[in-house]
Structure 1
Amino acid sequence: MSDQYEAVFARYDTDGDGRLTVDEVTAAIAGLFPANEVNDLSGIVQSLFTEYDTDHDGFLSMAEFVPLAKNLPELA
């Protein structure tokens, strides 16, 4: 995996446990929009987890995050 994705993943993995939580992904997505445009991101984040959390453990691993980042280059 590229260093670029590892650096982005590490930036969003605020507790450093090697996986992204719903809260961490929500914060990452919220950072893409001006604060006044962010209402409720729970539906968007839930959809992302449904699609990208392939082992269904409730977290995004680095391997699960890369396809998400490739499809949402704004995250990088």
Structure 2
Amino acid sequence: MSDQYEAVFARYDTDGDGRLTVEEVTAAIAGMFPAAEVNDLSGIVRALFAEYDTDNDGLLTATEFVPLAENLPELGSEN
């Protein structure tokens, strides 16, 4: 994983367990759209997990996160 994605993944992995939960991804997406209500993001987050959680464990590993960040540049940026 590139240093850029590793740093971004670590920023979103607030508990440091090496996996992103639905709550952590929701917070990341909410940070991209500060005016959005978290409840309004649930469908987006479900769709992201449906596509990128390839082992269907309800968590995103760093390996699963990279394609998501590549397809959603705002999520992969460090700004």
Pick the TM interval, shorter chain: over 0.9
User: In structure 1, how many angstroms separate the alpha carbons of the residues matched to 2:34 and 2:69?
Assistant: 20
| Residue 62 (str. 1) matches residue 49 (str. 2) | no
Q: Where does the alignment leave 5 or more consecutive residues of structure 2 unmatched?
A: none
1:44 match: 44
Task: Give the aligned length.
Answer: 74
Q: Partner of 1:15: helix, strand, or coil?
A: coil
Question: What pairs up with 1:16-31 in 2 under 5 angstroms?
Answer: 16-31=16-31
Q: Which runs of 4+ in 1 moved over 2 A?
A: none
Instruction: Give how far 1:74 is off.
Output: 0.2
Whole-Å separation in 2 of the counterparts to 1:15 and 1:34: 22
5 Å-filtered alignment, 1:4-23, equals 4-23=4-23
Compute the TM-score of the two structures, normalised by the length of structure 2: 0.91
Moved more, 41-50 or 26-35: 26-35
SS at match of 1:56: coil
TM-score normalised by length of structure 1: 0.94
What SS does the corresponding residue of 1:14 show, helix, strand or coil?
Answer: coil
Stretches of structure 1 lacking an aligned partner (at least 5 in a row): none
Bigger strand fraction: 2
